[in-house]
Amino acid sequence: MAEVVRAATEADYPELLPLLETCFGTGTGPDFERIITLDPWRDPENTRVLIVDGHVASHVQVHYRPVRFGCAQAVMGGIGHVGTHPDFRKRGYSTRLLNDCIRLMERKGYHLSLLFTGINDFYAKDGWRTIPTERFSVAATDVPIWDEPAVCVRPYGGDDDREARRAIYDTVCHGWLGALRRTPLYWQRQPKWARLEGADEDARHSLMAEVGGRAVGYAAFRPLSGHLCFEFAALPGCDAAARAMVCALARQTVELGGDLLHFDLPPGTQPHRILADAGVPIELGTSRHYMYRVIDLAGLLNALAPEFAVRLQEADRAGGRSSFVLDIESHRAAVTIDRARVHAHPTTSAPDVCVTQQEFLRALHGYDDGRAALDAAGSGLPHNPLGVLFPRGVHVYAAGDHF
């Protein structure tokens, strides 16, 4: 049998779309087509197929995704629609395609990869690591009825509000780690991309908050899929608007017959702080669907150098010099810190600091346990900089950005 791994051509799509329907269910072929044709960063080379005797047997998509880490930006490859036709399973095809995607991402200068899955063990074999992420819910009737007379909360107005939402997101997402750097074109297409205005949802349930006629916050809410708020942002200093939006979401949940108001957001985000400050009982849950993989450790550290400089300066640690070899399982980089300048290159030299990939990824995304592991592993370094380079933060990759 002739087996070839390559980019899909237009001629493959009449076979590829039914294959995805077979793997993922009715409607997923058109869904996939919509997602890749609306993708503002679409790269046709990233639709990878394994061809057996001229027919599409297996598929993996890599989505180019620029993500923010403070003032720095890294390139992430989002892995999606991993599927092998039932007649061709358990022959290693998917594994071959995933490895092809890793090489493609290395060649194209990607730093990280993210996927969402329920079959974590399958991807762990090829180096992706589960990053457990906390989510929270509250009983809608526990949310106080805050009286915020200066704030007007109204339904989201679609195109008319898009620019205001974009500006609010750009300000607020600076405080998140790993959030998508959305472009104007992405904003224009996002409602169709993420089906925010899909047939089973009502976009009027998403909210805008205004103070003195100026938009200062927004909340994206899925009324039918479990009363779920999947995006929430209020400008700094606009706590009254944030409270008014949380209150409106709770009211909607009750009106729609729901008990629990769910947030597809982690602790540390604005609605969590507001609810915690008000003493509302918060139920935490853990999602195990996010898996990350480092693609290029040295490249990632170099991409983050502008943010590292800020962190070193803010911690008043920009005077020290340090150099060490960092090892995270199969990735190793020699790191030099000279005043606030961080530089890394790949190396095979003996490591000074060894952590697991998962610990590193948790530290990168601002989790205390990951930072503590890095800090402890680097305790022998002069002016151990690791706790400073990877401070506590809030990891948000917004659900509306999923691929």
Ligand X SMILES: CC(C)(COP(=O)(O)OP(=O)(O)OC[C@H]1O[C@@H](n2cnc3c(N)ncnc32)[C@H](O)[C@@H]1OP(=O)(O)O)[C@@H](O)C(=O)NCCC(=O)NCCS
Contact residues: ligand X, CB under 6 A: 23-24, 58, 82-84, 89-95, 117, 119, 121-122
Please report how close the Cβ of residue 256 comes to ligand X at its closest, in angstroms: 30
DSSP-derived secondary structure for 255-310: HTT-SEEEESS-TTSHHHHHHHHTT---EEEEE--EEEEES-HHHHHHHTHHHHHH
Q: What is the DSSP string of 77-102?
A: EEEEEEEE-GGGTTSSHHHHHHHHHH
Residue nearer to ligand X on the CB measure, 33 or 142: 33
**Residue number with CB closer to ligand X (93 or 397):** 93
Residue 115 or 215 with smaller CB distance to ligand X: 115
Smallest separation, CB 80 to ligand X (Å): 8
- Closest contact distance (angstroms) between CB of 116 and ligand X is 7
Query: What is the nearest approach in angstroms of ligand X to the Cβ of residue 349?
Result: 34
For residue 225, give the nearest of 267, 193, 194, 186 by alpha carbon: 194
Strands (E), 11-170: 47-52, 55-69, 72-84, 112-116, 129-130, 133-139, 151-155
Compute the least distance from the CB of residue 288 to ligand X, in Å.
Answer: 13
In the complex with ligand X, the residue whose CB is nearer, 123 or 324, is 123
Q: Which is nearer to ligand X, 291 or 335 (CB)?
A: 291
The H or E element spanning position 324 is strand 321-328
Residue closer to ligand X (CB basis): 52 or 256: 52
Smallest separation, CB 313 to ligand X (Å): 41
What are 283's strand-pairing partners?
Answer: 137
Rank residues 288 and 345 by Cβ distance to ligand X and give the closer one.
Answer: 288
CB of 22 to ligand X, least distance (A): 8
Reading the block at residue 139, the tokens are 């009983």
Nearer to ligand X, 93 or 263 (CB): 93
Do 7 and 47 touch, CB atoms closer than 8 A? yes
Q: Which uninterrupted H or E stretch holds 214?
A: strand 214-222
CB of 121 to ligand X, least distance (A): 5
Nearer to ligand X, 291 or 294 (CB): 291
Beta carbon of residue 123, minimum distance to ligand X (angstroms, whole number): 8
Decide if 62 contacts 125 (C-beta within 8 A).
Answer: no
Q: How far apart are CA 367 and CA 365, in angstroms?
A: 6
For residue 74, give the nearest of 231, 264, 298, 269 by alpha carbon.
298
β-bridge mates for residue 342, sequence order:
337
| Integer Cα distance of 23 and 83 in angstroms | 6
| Helix-then-strand count for the chain, H and E | 13, 20
